[in-house]
Amino acid sequence: MKLVLWVLTLFAAAAAVVIAAQYDHGSVLFVVPPYKIELTINIFIIVLIAAFFVFYLLLRLLVNLFGLHHKRINESTLTATKAFFEERFDKAEKAAASVVKSDSPSTINAINAVIAARSAHKQANYSQRDHYLAISEQKAPEEKELRLVTQAELLLEEERYEEALKALQTLYSEGGLQSTSVLQLELKAQQLAQNWDAVLELASILEKRHSVNRATIEQIKHHAHIENIKKNGAHLEALNKYWNSLSPAEKLDSRLAATAARAYMALGEVSIAQKIIEQSIDSKLDSELISLYAKCLDGSVSWQIQRAEGWLRRHPNNAELLLTLGKLCTYCELWGKAQNYLEASLSIEPSRAAHLALAQLFEKLEKHDEAADHYHKGLGFSLKKQQA
């Protein structure tokens, strides 16, 4: 249809020129020193029309060539993307690299460089991966976020945590509000690098965003607090400062309390550990803390027995609590009470620890046969555990 229209247009133009030529006898003079060119008006019109059509044909040819080039770029990009998600990484890298080498728009270059880099990374070709990322920086410097996020993620997978964090810091230098995914990427890097203060800071930022799982964030914060307590546990002043910085609810958390109690006990601050355990157990009974309470022996053991008996009245059939009371009474040489508590613990839930505590009690009472019997039974628990 287009061809027919063009032919009709050409015939119309030719007819117009013929009609105009019958009535026009003027001329056109071109002066290009030292030359002069004089053309009749008719010939000038014909040359002008011919030049227009030649220019048009050349323009169409260039457009077609550019369109073909653009089509090839799109096809290669599509091939690279499809192959990458099919996990055919060698094919994805080859297709993406062909686009990167061509003269394509910067955004297309950046996308294909990232696909090539990720594909090379999946094939453990890290030097080639870095080469593609360098090309992305060279050919598409404005696509900084795409390159740096990719670089950080891939370095993280390679366990190069500090370098991943440097890449993210370079991104942050641009300013502006960072996306949730970028912050989560940094959170992972800070966790792996064991920068627990930074983990807590990022977790506090992320928990305010609607797209994150708050339960997961709470677990992350909880773990970071535990690691920070351990890290500060070598110095009493640092441990006091960190423990006192926690909220009242966090101090009552069983695992945090147990970690802090162990740290204080290791520093010889048994009375502080005892108070931490008591406050947490008053809030919620926890078997780890109950067991730890039996090791807080500093001279106020009779007070500990009273506290433990108070917990027992609320939880009369708790085997771990009965075992702890038995150990505390043994320490205070309350032999009868100790034996009663230990035997009650065994009647509810037999355990190696209870048999061992009772064996040690009978040794103190010089009841060697009974002690040997409980040592034997305790050893049986150990063997069963090893076989399991």
Confidence of residue 65 (pLDDT cuts 50, 70, 90): very low
Residue 335 CB coordination number (10 Å): 14
Q: Higher pLDDT residue, 36 or 89?
A: 89
Distances (CA, A) of 54 to 7, 49, 328: 15, 9, 106
Check pLDDT > 70 for residue 92.
yes
Confidence of residue 76 (pLDDT cuts 50, 70, 90): confident
Cα 172-175-180 angle, rounded to 5 deg: 60
pLDDT of residue 239: 96
Please state whether 299 falls in left (phi above 0), alpha (psi between -120 and 50) or beta.
left
pLDDT of residue 24: 53
- Residue keyed to tokens 């369109």: 67
Cα 145-147-149 angle, rounded to 5 deg: 65
Confidence of residue 44 (pLDDT cuts 50, 70, 90): low
* Contact yes or no for 304/328 (Cβ under 8 A): yes
- My answer on whether omega of the bond before 34 falls inside 30° of 0, hence cis, is yes
Check pLDDT > 80 for residue 265.
yes
